């Protein structure tokens, strides 16, 4: 279902992150009037920020909002911006960070989402608010593939924070009948990603350093290329059947971490050895997406294969990291 974003007032939180920057760039190219919400510091009345991914687009933004999404101030800042569409991606998304800072991660991910929802509740002209959940909410697959009816079994404080935010978003839809949709992306990868397993392996491979695998490398993930996930976000942002829905997006194929490392070694031509270290805390052993609902509701399906996506990611890394 086609949709024109031209001249639509759109606010993206977490816009300068990996996924947020790709989505924001696409919205700008589609002609939307985009505002972004990013972290910033205020010193003697001057707001300081640095755009790492969106610098080329800085002059195109309707407004650059800076602040902590988990602060109560966020509600008024979003209301003042008066967007028609909100894509809420701001989060502390690095799982291991939640092992050492569980409270801070919970504040960012849950209260940041509640602040966005409170703003939406007080903005009667909002047409859609997309809240970003995570495949981590499911924990290890009890059956495969994981559909939206799968039990929610978060294994880490990060995952628990995303369950809480996910269900908070649904509660605001259910209670106030707000135009909210919830996207549950499975592991997304591509250019600009700097943490998580694929960018970590690519960087180590290109630098000829040992590639470190936690455990035996048999844990699996459903990796989706960022270009396909941008389409998923846009669909959840405009399709009328997305309102009130929590929808999985992924390829339906899971790949072991061992195989991922082997393929990256092959595509980069590196001589990096693979070394094994003890299993990470709160490890999810299998994630594989059941995206039947996305296909049924929207006709969505991924178009970029895992190997092609890895090659694009490696090509980008060679140009930007070396």
Residues labelled catalytic: 158
Helix 112-121 × helix 157-176 angle, to 10°: 10
Place of tokens 């591509």: 190
Q: What are phi and psi of 158, to 5 degrees?
A: -60, -50
Task: Report yes or no: 81 and 11 within 8 Å, Cβ to Cβ.
Answer: yes
Beta bridge partners of 63: 35
Q: What DSSP element (H or E) covers 85? A: strand 85-88
Expressed in angstroms, the distance from the first to the final Cα of the chain is 40
Contacts of 177 (CB under 8 A, 6+ apart): none
d(CA 169, CA 149): 17
DSSP 173-185: HHHH---EEEEEE
CB 156 within 8 A of CB 211: no
Biggest CA-to-CA distance, the chain: 58
d(CA 113, CA 100): 21
């Amino acid at each position: 279902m086609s949709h024109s974003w031209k001249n639509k007032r759109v606010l993206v939180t977490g816009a300068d992150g990996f996924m947020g920057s790709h989505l924001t760039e696409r919205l700008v190219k589609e002609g939307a009037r985009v505002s972004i919400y990013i972290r910033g510091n205020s010193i003697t009345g001057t707001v300081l920020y640095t755009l790492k991914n969106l610098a080329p687009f800085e002059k195109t933004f309707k407004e650059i909002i800076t602040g902590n999404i988990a602060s109560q101030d966020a509600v008024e800042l979003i209301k003042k911006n008066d967007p028609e569409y909100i894509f809420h991606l701001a989060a502390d998304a690095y799982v291991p960070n939640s092992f050492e800072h569980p409270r801070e991660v919970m504040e960012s991910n849950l209260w940041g989402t509640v602040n966005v929802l409170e703003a939406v509740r007080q903005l009667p002209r909002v047409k859609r608010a997309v809240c970003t959940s995570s495949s981590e909410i499911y924990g290890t697959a009890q059956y495969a593939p994981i559909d939206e009816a799968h039990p929610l079994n978060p294994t880490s404080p990060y995952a628990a924070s995303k369950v809480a935010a996910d269900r908070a978003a649904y509660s605001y839809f259910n209670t106030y009948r707000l135009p909210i949709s919830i996207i549950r992306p499975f592991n997304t990868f591509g250019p600009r990603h700097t943490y998580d397993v694929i960018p970590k392996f690519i960087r180590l491979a290109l630098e000829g350093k040992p590639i470190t695998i936690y455990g035996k490398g048999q844990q699996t993930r459903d990796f989706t290329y960022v270009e396909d996930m941008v389409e998923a976000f846009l669909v959840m942002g405009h399709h009328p059947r997305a309102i009130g829905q929590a929808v999985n997006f992924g390829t339906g194929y899971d790949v072991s971490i061992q195989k991922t490392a082997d393929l990256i070694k092959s595509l980069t031509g590196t001589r990096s050895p693979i070394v094994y270290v003890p299993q990470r805390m709160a490890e999810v052993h299998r994630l594989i997406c059941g995206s039947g609902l996305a296909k049924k509701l929207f006709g969505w399906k991924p178009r970029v294969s895992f190997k092609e996506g890895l090659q694009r990611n490696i090509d980008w890394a060679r140009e930007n990291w070396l």
